[in-house]
Structure 1
């Protein structure tokens, strides 16, 4: 799969994500990540074995593990325990469409470092459209979360408005709306995004 990680890294995003999921068109199949200097590395996994995640974490030096499947709280505890020596953060993804039962978060509250809210769709991410952000007004936790799901330049006014609320939004995750094709990012569009977020 062709990608332009080095060019994206030059824009100094806080994080760069690498997807390890064979069903994804963005599945990362290289043996090394040699072209990231400034960004922290996020390994994205979907219902993978704990052994596989540990192997990839040690191979690529991930700073964050993002769990994008149906991983249970018990799974998270076991994974966190086995990654204790790696000083890796654990982010758990939850998909939202029009409603969400935030009670689901309770059993994850003491094990994951951050949540990520994505759009519920046919695919495990990369669906290209946003969920109803008004759902987040009922967010009951103080734990920081990442806003994801089909965010493009057209949403920047809404993003800025959301950032002015009391919600503990830690970061904005962009992907499919900033691609020329899966894995290959549109650098000029990402530069516009940087400009918009700094307004």
Structure 2
């Protein structure tokens, strides 16, 4: 990793407003909300009983990321094989800056999703594609998404969708020859700062932090995050 380029820092699986506000005071670039109902970190919409209007975002959750008024922290919505309509509803409700697709979304689905949303709904929207990694063959699957996504998120292959607290073999990153930058995810913990700083891959963009910085699902240990980020950024 070049010492002149600050790695992006995404803290995912946020839900509690006070916790979000505390994390927003740290030098993070993205906060992630998980909109997958089977996740223990699921963020639900407020459902209106009349059914006459669309469901709404919880205002406390949606606005908590704006705790630092001096800068914009990007909001990422995480989806698993969701419909385009569902994704658009969450973009509008939560003011998402990016969507992270964590399922088996095809290149055709992603192409159609982007053309539906950009530029009419959210001109600057970014699309992240999570890739479950266990072997070089999994890295090779990235090629089908070249030119369609703005960022890959390399996560550990497991039975579910993220949050396994385990790492894949980071030496597999050497086999990635694509042009799309990537975030490193999957079991990154408080003791990994020096290993991450040693990554020299030219497409490495930053880290995605989640379960190993939690005291319980969706509740981050702000002190651990602050200490880790300080070591990572040399501050």
1:173 — aligned with what? 208
8 Å CA contact retained: 2:132, 2:155: yes
Match of 1:119 among 135, 156, 159: 156
**Cα distance, 1:150 vs structure 2:** 0.5
Unaligned runs of 5+ residues in structure 2 are 1-13, 46-56, 67-71
Aligned residues: 197
2:220 — aligned with what? 185
- Deviation string 1:39-96 (CA, Å, 9 cap, x unpaired) is 1100000000110001100111111110000000000001001110202000111001
Counterpart CA distance in 2 for 1:98 and 1:155 is 21
* Change over 3 Å in CA distance of 1:174–1:2 after alignment to 2: closer
1:45 — aligned with what? 79
Match of 1:131 among 142, 146, 168: 168
**Cα distance, 1:99 vs structure 2:** 3.7
2:96 — aligned with what? 62
Match of 1:21 among 11, 36, 41: 36
**Cα distance, 1:98 vs structure 2:** 4.0
**Cα distance, 1:142 vs structure 2:** 2.2
* Change over 3 Å in CA distance of 1:161–1:149 after alignment to 2: same
Query: Structure 2-normalised TM-score?
Result: 0.80
8 Å CA contact retained: 2:33, 2:75: yes
* Change over 3 Å in CA distance of 1:96–1:103 after alignment to 2: closer
8 Å CA contact retained: 2:165, 2:187: yes
Aligned with 1:180: secondary structure?
strand
Equivalent residues in 2 for 1:64-103 (5 A)? 64-85=98-119, 86=122, 87-103=124-140
Q: Which has the higher contact order (CA 8 A, sep 6+)?
A: 2
Ranges of 4+ aligned residues in structure 1 off by more than 4 Å: none
Aligned with 2:32: secondary structure?
strand
Unaligned runs of 5+ residues in structure 1 are none
8 Å CA contact retained: 2:32, 2:78: yes
1:149 — aligned with what? 186
Query: Structure 1-normalised TM-score?
Result: 0.94
The structure number with the bigger radius of gyration is: 2
Aligned with 1:100: secondary structure?
helix
